[in-house]
Structures are given as structure tokens and as C-alpha cells.
Structure 1
Amino acid sequence: MMSRRKFLRGSAILGVSVAAPSLLLGQSGMYSSKGNRKVYRVLNADHTKVGTLPVMRAFAGDHLDHVSPFVLFDEFGPVDIKPGSDALRVNAHPHAGVIPTTYFLSGSGHHKDSLNYDFQIQTGEYMMFSSGRGAIHMEESGQRLKEEGGKIHGFQIWLNMPAAYKLDDPTTTVFRDDHMPTIIKKDFTGRVVLGELFGYKSNIKTFTPTFYYYLKLNKQARLNIPTDPAHNAFIYAVSGGVELEGQHALKPNQLALYERGQSNINLYAEEGAEVFLLGGQPMNEPVYSYGPFVMNNEQQIMQCINDYQSGKMGDPDKVN
């Protein structure tokens, strides 16, 4: 069981590596068009472990000029779980000033927190743990996986909270299908988790303009996705290969950061691909992070530590 003291010793956020440029040779499958966003940099996600859960970490507290309002991006799994085996688990730990969000591509999860929420999260559902001034939660693979076995695969992506809301009361919400429209087109299918795409609009509210799209591109699919030129944007490849502007090749477990100033994000998938495309209005505020605490100055971080140590965020023993 994780003690407060152990948490504080092991709470550093680690960065990831920059990928060597990978360009397609020969003829491009992309149509050129005006107003294309330029790729700034491609990152390799790195293997790490959170509790007993293996993850691929694409960024964590770095590259904020290009990923804000997001601050961390983890892909967990895919992992096959045998019936009756121990749950993959992240023991009780605190958060403050940030919204850890979870989305399952397959499998299920169990969430329990110091706000008296205790529930199972299913495939295709989206959870927002708005930590505000501070709360504790535990995460593990779900009861159905324990009983029946199967694959667990999903994403935990942290959304920063503006300074004006960082000390709000914490809350937890799970959103079902009726909040996130599904797009079915000839070249692709998609889920609009946050924001709006091609007239399909999510009903989930965020503090600042934010978009979060899960897209499955068919073979030979070409997409031209409009975005606000003043907003950040980045794309992560889950499976398959994707061609980006300038013949940049994006491979699985790589993330491309885009420059601001233009609107269109051009994608081409010769053999099909599965991607997440996210971004939004940058938060032009200072960011101080210490492990799971994301605040605006060092004094606030120290207050978070004191609140956690004194039990004001809840009792980890009751959450585990």
C-alpha cells in the first residue's frame, strides 16, 4: 500500500524522447492545399509503468507551448488479462489543479476516490476526475476483466485547469455515448469526445475551448481537418501509419506536435490507421507541476503537499 511519504519521494514527472525525422520516399499520397498546419516535432512515446499498469508516455509536463491545455498523455495497454488474475492497479494517489481523463478502447476499469465515487468504467466511456483543490483516487482494471478476462487498452490524458478554477471543489463524472457523437463516413469513423468536428458536437463542457477526437481511418483515407489557427494541436498514432504534411511519416506510439498559425490538418493513411487528435486554446499561465499536482506557483505546490500530508484530500487507506 502506498504511504504519503512514499508518494512524495517518487513523484517526479519524466519527459520523453524526440524522434529522428522520418520522411516518406517517393510519391506522396497527400493532396496539397493552402492553410496546412506544419509539423513542429515528432516524439517517441516511452515505456514506463504506473503502479502495475504498463504505459506508453508521449509527454508529461513538457512541450507545453504545443500541447496546452493538456499536460500529460499516457496510453495504457493493450494487455491481455486472464480470468481470475490480479487486477492491473494504480494504488490510491492524490491530484490537484488538473483533470485526469480516461477513455477505454477495450476492456473496463474500476475507479474509487475520496469523493465517495466507486464505479466501473466501460469501453467507449469517458471519465473526468476534476481534482480542483485536491482529491485522492485509485484505478485498476475492471471487474468484468477479472471474471471473464480480455484486453485492456485505453488512454489517460490530463487536462490542465485554469488558475481561476484550481481551488474549486473536486468532482468526478463519467460520460456515456449520448454525450459523444459518433461519425461514420466513407473514409473514416470517429468519436468526438470533446469539441466539434464536421458538425458533430460533444456535449461535454470544458473550462476552455478544447478538442479530442478518436479517428479510425480506412485504407486510402485522406482527411482535411479544420482547426482554429490560434489553438494547439497534436496527433498520436495508435496503429497503422499516417502521412502528415511535408511527407512526415507517423508510426504507432509516436506523437506529432503542430505549429500554430494555420488551420488545416492533413492526414493520409495508405493502409488504414487509428489515431487520436487533440488540442485547444493554450493557457497562457505559468505551470508548476510536482507529480500529480499541477498548479501556477511553488507556494501552491507546497500547499498541495501539506494538504495531502495532513489528510485534507482524504484518507488513502479508505480509497485503496
Structure 2
Amino acid sequence: MSNIQLIIEERAADIGNFLVGRLLPFRQKRAVGPFVFLDHMGPAHLSNYQNLDVGPHPHIGLSTLTYLFEGSIMHRDSLGNEIEIKPGAVNWMTAGKGIVHSERTPEYLRTSEKMLHGLQIWVALPMELEKMEPSFVHIEEKDIPHWTENGLSFKLIAGEAFGKKSGVPTYSPLYFIEIKNTASQKVNIGKDLFGEGALYVLEGSIKSEGTTFGEKQILVAKESTLCEFEMDENSTVYIFGGEAFPEERFIYWNFVATDKAIIEEAKERWIQQTFPEIPGETGFVPLPAPTKF
């Protein structure tokens, strides 16, 4: 019997002046463990006049994880952080009761041709922490746990697994793992996983019980502890998941909460512009037209 519960394909989504492939949330699967949002950016070739410019916008009730494969993004936030995100590093921003940030092409690249390729992820906070003070952590690539085993290259980008722990300060039990290979081989890591689990194929393909699955798909497992598959040569996959929360999460725009009233309050705060400001930034992304959530 197959361990695959659901297959999710990327769908195009517009984040302002840039198209992404949206994977989560999905109508049949709103979250995998605490992971409530996953966008695949690119790979996109930007000309010398095209730039990423996502202006100041707010978040509540979540942590964002930005992980690049190619390119560069300048992160600025209302805590005063200003840092360039480069491939392999982890940007972990915890919104809590409210934070504002912007994401732009760095100034030195704005008149050059460039690539942009990466993942943007939202992890919901536990209910008792969804109004915590906001915080920000940037972890360089060299400080992320990485190792090779049986011909596979592993990175533990966030969370705990394999008896190891990432330096990313997560707030609930989870894992976000990168696996790369060069030669075709079987992978069996179920004993190291827990909670809900899913696999994202970034490059190459995998085989599971006689079926081949290609790029830009999430395979949601029925049981994360039964995670076993074969990676075709030169493939890259991401395994993610963890313990699901008992409470439902509501999402409206950039707001995540266990109570719709919290989201309504955040909407009004943004309309009134009472969120904290980003030093050196001007303007803001307006609240989108009312939609159900």
C-alpha cells in the first residue's frame, strides 16, 4: 500500500512584481505539521531593469523562513535588521504580535542581470506564543548542520532530526531537511521523523512503490515514520513536517492566527498604519481587497 496521501502541484501566484509557485496552503491540505505556507521562487532570470521589490508589509502569528538557492535578497525589518540573504543561509523572522519587513534586490545588483531562486516558508506559532515579541535570526550556511552518509548529502535547515539540532530557534517540534545525491539509491529515514511529513522534489525525481515523481511537487505522507523512497541520480529533495497543532489556523494575507478576531485587529492596525515602521523605508503594501478566510 502506498504511503502517499496527497500530491500537490505548484500553482502560479503573484506576490507583487514577481511570480512564484505556490505549494501550501492547498484546499485539501492547509498545513503539514506547523508548516502553513510554502512558495517556490523561480528560478527566474531578471534583466538589468528587473528587480524584486516587495515593499513594507506586516506579519503576525508566524515565523518566516527564507532559503535561497541562487541570487540575493536584502531583508529589512521594523526591528532595525538589515541583512543580505545569500544562498545557503537561513533567515528566520518571528512575527509574533507583529513585525513589518521588506524584501528587495540589493542596491549593487539592481542594474545587473541576475538570478533569483529559493523557498519562502511560513511556520505557525503555538497558540500560547502567537502574540510573543517579534525577533529575527540570520544563520550563515556554514553554521547549518550538514553531513554525508551512504552517498547522500544532508542539511538540517531547521528543527531536530537524526539526533542533530539546527541553530534556528523553532517554537514547536519540526524538521526541514535537504537531501542531495549524485547516484541513484534508496533512502529510508522514517525512523528519524515524527508527526506529519511531506517531501518536495526540487530537482531530479524520485520513485516510490513503482511510480516516478518529478520536480515541483509535494508528496504528503500518510505516515512520516514510513518515509522510504528511491532518489534518481542528481536529485534534490526537501523533507519537512512535525507535530500538528490541535487548533485550526486561519490565514488572511500575511496574517496567521487561531482566532479570526486577531486577524481583524491586525487588518485594522495595518489600515491605520500603527504597526512599527522599518528604518529607512518609505511606502507600504496596502491591505488587499476583502476576501474570505
TM-score (norm 1): 0.81
* Corresponding residue number in structure 2 for 1:259: 222
CA drift at 1:179: 3.5
User: Which AA in structure 2 matches 1:243?
Assistant: K
1:234 is aligned to 2:198 = yes
What is the 5 A alignment of 1:8-157?
A: 38-60=3-25, 62-64=27-29, 67-82=32-47, 84-143=48-107, 145-146=109-110, 149-157=113-121
Select 2:258's aligned residue among 281, 291, 296: 296
Distance change in 2, residues 1:137/1:197 (3 Å): same
Q: Which stretch of structure 1 is more off in the superposition, 228-237 or 203-212?
A: 228-237
* Corresponding residue number in structure 1 for 2:146: 182
* Corresponding residue number in structure 2 for 1:287: 249
Distance change in 2, residues 1:314/1:203 (3 Å): closer
SS in 2 for 1:302: helix
Distance change in 2, residues 1:62/1:164 (3 Å): farther
* Corresponding residue number in structure 1 for 2:230: 268
1:314 is aligned to 2:267 = no
Distance change in 2, residues 1:59/1:144 (3 Å): same
User: Which AA in structure 1 matches 2:267?
Assistant: I
Instruction: State the Cα RMSD in Å.
Output: 2.3
Quick check: 2:94–2:134 contact (8 Å CA) kept in 1?
yes
Counterpart CA distance in 1 for 2:229 and 2:53 is: 36
Counterpart CA distance in 1 for 2:255 and 2:21 is: 20
Distance change in 2, residues 1:283/1:182 (3 Å): same
Quick check: 2:162–2:192 contact (8 Å CA) kept in 1?
no
* Corresponding residue number in structure 2 for 1:195: 159
Distance change in 2, residues 1:267/1:52 (3 Å): same
Counterpart CA distance in 1 for 2:270 and 2:187 is: 46
CA drift at 1:55: 0.8
User: Which AA in structure 1 matches 2:36?
Assistant: V
* Corresponding residue number in structure 2 for 1:277: 239
CA drift at 1:54: 2.0
Gapped regions of structure 2 (runs ≥ 5)? 285-293
Quick check: 2:3–2:226 contact (8 Å CA) kept in 1?
no
Quick check: 2:160–2:174 contact (8 Å CA) kept in 1?
no
Counterpart CA distance in 2 for 1:237 and 1:219 is: 16
Counterpart CA distance in 1 for 2:65 and 2:143 is: 15
* Corresponding residue number in structure 1 for 2:213: 250
Counterpart CA distance in 2 for 1:229 and 1:186 is: 18
**Percent of paired sites with the same residue:** 22
Counterpart CA distance in 2 for 1:230 and 1:125 is: 25
Gapped regions of structure 1 (runs ≥ 5)? 1-35
User: Which AA in structure 2 matches 1:258?
Assistant: A
User: Which AA in structure 2 matches 1:112?
Assistant: R
CA drift at 1:184: 2.2
User: Structure 1 runs of 4+ off > 6 angstroms?
Assistant: none
